Amino acid sequence: MQKRHISLRIKVTCLVLAVAVVIAFAASLVSYKVYASTMDRQYETQTMNLAKTAAAMLDRDDMQALTQDVMDRYHAVCGEDGQAPDFASFTDDDWDEYYAALAPSMELDSYQRLYAVLSEIRANNAAQSIYVCYMDEQTGKAVYILDASDPDDACVPGDCDDIEQGNLELMEQGVYDFPAYITNYEEYGWLCSASAGIYGEDGKVIANAYVDISMNDVMQDRHDFLTQLLLILVGATLVLIVLLVFISTRTVVQPINKLAAAADAFVSDKEKSIYGLSAIAQLRIHTGDEIENLASSIQKMEQDITNYIDNLAVVTAEKERISTELHVATQIQASMLPCIFPPFPDRSEFDIYASMNPAKEVGGDFYDFFMVDESHIAIVMADVSGKGVPAALFMVIGKTLIKDHTTPGRDLGEVFMEVNKLLCEGNGEELFITAFEGVLDLKTGQFNFVNAGHEMPFIRRQGQYTPEKIRAGFVLAGMDMTRYRMGTLQMEPGDAIFQYTDGVTEATNANNELYGMERLEAVLNKNSTAAPDALLPAVKADIDAFVGDAPQFDDITMLCMEYKEKMK
């Protein structure tokens, strides 16, 4: 299923819209909070000032007399324990009795004069409620002394509320001017309330003047302010979106679309474009920003790609030529090694088989076997340092020299000394060869050998392969004065010799573990009765199973010769 792409214009629009909404929301929130806090402070200040004005305008003597009368009647109702009556348990008769006890206070001349003053203050300042309470710490009640509020909502002397905890704490500190606060009642709506102490000439508080100012209109103004602000911000946001989308389309989307179209037409329209120029080369983007830099980079990239393709064609042709030559070299190298088995079908005294698996196209390992004379057969196993063509060329030289200098009756140590001297001459690449050569006398079973730094062979005697610990001399082509000694061992019919290069024991798996001598000895003895042409494939299969998918780093070369019977 093809993935659906969203155009850059839509992404830009969505991004701008999201940013605009966040900014509008933040601006609305901050503006509303600033406006609301300003209005709240203004009304709190106004309410507090009106409460202090009312407290100052009330006659102290009248206030003292009225408060004393109401509180005496209130305390008389409280009873002997001095606690407030249990108003929650009052019946209608209890309430009638209670109000009847407090009613005479409303008949006092002081009550009438004070009521007239509070009513005038309320009317002149548009206060919703204005009243006087006494904070009775003994009963924990705020007892109404006088209420000039709307007659339908006004309280009568003796009505009381619990003193708020915050006001009690202030009273304990001697503070009776209670700060303004804003409340929202279901019955009265939004109110800003404040209280100021009414003090006598002795400085003691007589009562508290309370003022409630309605804030319903203010809250409606807040709502209207927020609505208008949101409408303004929405309009500004829409204008901003249109403007930014237009600008982004002109400066971002259209240039990018031109780049995309030119990139799509890079191959198909290159030969058709005017003046021999491709669609990318014809781009004219002048935005003065990163997009213009991108267009310039793409035009340069096109030229680089064109040059690279031209160079790649040359390099590819050269690589194909080299590959062809390497293939020929591989065939030549393979043809130089004995590769027809059985090589001596008319000889029953021995059986021989060998294989080589190069790590690259051509390898540095080599093996050889040849008849020195009618009763002697020579085997050679060697490994040239390095890989590839240089090692293969050096291998050809080494193989040729060893075979040419191996003559009947000649000491193998002298053969390697002569070959070593010749290899050291003009060895500018400083390559060297580890080599093993052995000559078996088919009549007597005597096996003469010489070892130039090569691996020890495995000899099968009485059906068991064991490594033959022989002394290894210095490598060929290392030092021209090196001397080599020939060794001798006795082989009997049924014995066999297995020789190999280090690519066998040093084969490495994915965990960097080496195949090793122990595994090689184990697989040889597992197939100890196998003929040479079956033994080598079994060893190779075991190596492949151990290595797994890990790459082959070295040539793997093996040779096995079985001495079957003495020559008569």
Burial (Cβ within 10 Å: 0-12, 13-18, ≥19) of residue 246: exposed
Provide CB contacts within 8 A for 483, sequence distance 6+. 413, 417, 473
What is the C-alpha to C-alpha distance for residues 514 and 31, in angstroms, rounded to an integer? 77
- CB-CB neighbours of 292 under 10 Å: 14
Rounded to whole angstroms, the Cα distance separating 62 from 70 reads 12
Q: What is the pLDDT of residue 438?
A: 96
Tokens representing 486 are 């020939």
Q: HSE on the CB side for 177, CA within 13 Å?
A: 13
Q: What is the pLDDT of residues 178-235, one digit of tens each?
A: 898 888 878 778 888 899 999 988 888 999 999 988 888 777 767 777 777 778 877 8
Tokens, residue 514: 């080496």
| Angle at alpha carbon of residue 420, lines to 445 and 473, rounded to 5° | 60
User: Bigger pLDDT: 315 or 58?
Assistant: 58
DSSP codes joined into one string, 17-65: HHHHHHHHHHHHHHHHHHHHHHHHHHHHHHHHHHHHHHHHHS-HHHHHH
Q: Is 117 helix (H, G, I), strand (E, B) or coil?
A: helix
Contact by Cβ (8 Å): 16, 244? yes
540 contact partners, CB below 8 Å, separation of at least 6: 355, 357, 556, 558
**pLDDT at residue 7 in the model:** 67
Predicted pLDDT at 419: 95
Q: What pLDDT was estimated at residue 3?
A: 56
Lowest mean pLDDT among 168-177, 216-225, 291-300, 316-325: 316-325
User: What are 93-103's pLDDT values in tens digits?
Assistant: 989 999 998 98
Q: Retrieve residue 550's tokens.
A: 């890990």
Strands of the sheet with 446-452, listed across from one edge: 365-373, 376-384, 433-441, 446-452, 487-490
**N residues, the chain:** 568
Name the phi and psi angles at 512, rounded to 5. 60, 30
Query: How many other β-carbons are positioned within 10 Å of the β-carbon of residue 131?
Result: 23
DSSP 67-114: HHHHHHHHHHHH-TT-PPP-GGG--HHHHHHHHHHHGGGGGSHHHHHH
Give the list of residues 6+ apart from residue 242 with CB closer than 8 angstroms, or none: none
Quick one: 155 exposed, middle or buried, by C-beta within 10 A (0-12, 13-18, 19+)? middle
| Phi, psi dihedrals of residue 40, rounded to the nearest 5° | -60, -45
What residue ranges in 137-176 does DSSP mark as E strands? 141-147, 160-162
pLDDT reported for residue 407: 95
pLDDT digits 0-9 by tens, 425-477:
878 788 999 999 999 999 999 999 999 999 999 999 999 999 999 988 999 99
For residues 103-129, average pLDDT? 90
